[in-house]
A and B are shown apart, each in its own frame.
Chain A
Amino acid sequence: MNAIWTIAKKELSTFFDSLVAYFLLTIFLFLCGLFTWFILSDVFLTNQASLRTFFFWAGVLLMVFIPAITMGMLAEEKNTGTIELLLTKSVSDRQVVIGKFVACFLLVVIALAFTLPYYFTVAYLGNIDHGATICGYLGLILVSASYISLCLFASSITKSQIVAFLLGLVICFFLGFVFFFLSMQTNGLISEVFQTLSVRDHYESIARGVIDTKDLIYFLSLTTIGILLAEVSITNR
């Protein structure tokens, strides 16, 4: 437990020391703000005191934001050889992966915390559904956890940050978009399989305020699978 926190702390401070975190946070918040308030079906156009637009766009932006923060996590360590130093310390492979996961997760939570002013603003403008908003945030956090762990796996199988980023992007887009479109194009059992695999339905039902065990199991199993795959991949060295 201690080792996990030590690694997470180190990764977080590296993020904030190297300006990467500030840069990514700024872009994420800028685009979230743009889509929520100014472009396409923004809050003013729909004329409802609801953050549904924000939750949709935040989900989309996370598909790019998360591969960008996880790409270097294991790929760079493998590239420079520091992974050898790390894994010969008194930590297990799993603790290393979980430590990195915690660091990325906290960074995403920080990013999402900065969007809370949207919530307060909309709540001021009209009669917002507090329950649905809290559930929306919970949904975002669960989606993020799944994306992070799978993108960590992407980072664990290559030495190149770019490859890790692109691979993470592909994984996120498959979960976020492609499976959904495939389920629309097919029917019967296959369609249902794609629908279950797609993040969209699970996320939307939570964002509507319905917390179903089925959806929780979906996100938690994606997260676990990602972490286990990343662990297996760094154990086979």
Chain B
Amino acid sequence: MDIVINNLTKTYGPQKAVDGISFNVKTGEILGFLGPNGAGKTTTMKILTNYIKATSGEVTIDGKLVSENADELKKHIGYLPEHNPLYLEMPIMDYLWFCAELQGVHKSNIPGRMGEMIRLCGLNAEKHKKIGELSKGYRQRVGIAQAMIHDPQILILDEPTTGLDPNQIVEIRELIKKLGEEKTVILSTHILPEVEATCDRILIINNGKIVADGTSATLRKQAQGSEVLQVRIEDGQLDAVFQGLQQLYSTEVVDIKNREKQLFEIQSVKEVSSAKEIFKLCVKNGWTLLEMTPLETKLEDIFRDLTLN
């Protein structure tokens, strides 16, 4: 099911939490929602699930307006809210049963779905405990299990991996990736490597506005524009090598990073790679090329660039 968000705005008093954002998510796509605290991620997710109403703009799922067809559409959405609220006094099994029944899972299918969720989320050892007796990580697993119990077409997960241990994080990421092949997934997170590892597409929002939209590769290209190489060349005079590199047609900026190791950072002219020329230069002068590493702009840097001003 495709989600189309059109010019969505939500104001709380004078403050605009979400400011005219528009984007689409297609079936089989995992969209990572990034942004600093208070950027409007959670507000957007609450509007998508029809928990709160937008001030203006519209959300359609499968061509139907969420605000008008909520009762029908909510059946197809699995939602994990921020802070993962749960009924602490309820046993896990009762809680999952309750959620399945509310989401309209047929009675004869509930035990099967529950078994599946308990296996997928690794809850087997704890399944007879009350939710209040569980640690934070296990509660998070219960939160994920209740979101997926009815096998929804759309998954909306607000920070799904908080409180999980590293092994569990990997498992949940794998699970989300697998689900994302057939379903529509939107997840928000603060953990940047997580977005890169799981999401097909990244959306960065800041102050309620979309500041970047694309795959991690396209975002990098946008931010960087030109290639940056770290190069180590020996068996030549530092100054001679430096000048040789600077005179190359394809290099824009050459920096000496470490004089003793003869380490350089070279930024190429836009859209051109300087790697071949550097190699040929070394061969011509009989220098030894010890290292040539392309430096990628980290997602962290892109994020900081886009959200700090």
Contacts and interface: CB of A to CB of B under 8 A. Distances in A.
Given A6-B101, A85-B81, A17 B74 contact: no
B153 interface: no
Nearest to A76: B87
Contact of B102 (A17, A18, A89, A237): A89
Contacts of A81: 81, 83, 85
Contacts of B85: 80-82, 84-85
Interface in A56-104: 80-82, 84-92
B248 interface: no
B116 interface: no
A17 B52 contact: no
A123 to B, nearest CB: 40
Contacts of A85: 79, 81, 85-86, 146
Contacts, number: 59
B93 to A, nearest CB: 12
A88 B50 contact: yes
Contacts of B81: 81, 84-85, 88
B51 A84 contact: yes
Interface of A: 2-3, 6-7, 10, 13-14, 17-18, 80-82, 84-92, 237
What are the nearest 9 A-B pairs in CB distance?
A81-B85, A90-B75, A88-B49, A89-B102, A90-B74, A82-B85, A6-B101, A88-B79, A84-B81
27 contacts: A2-B101, A10-B90, A14-B87, A14-B89, A14-B90, A17-B90, A80-B85, A81-B83, A82-B86, A82-B87, A84-B51, A85-B81, A85-B85, A85-B146, A87-B51, A88-B74, A88-B77, A89-B99, A89-B102, A90-B74, A90-B103, A90-B104, A91-B74, A91-B102, A92-B71, A237-B51, A237-B52
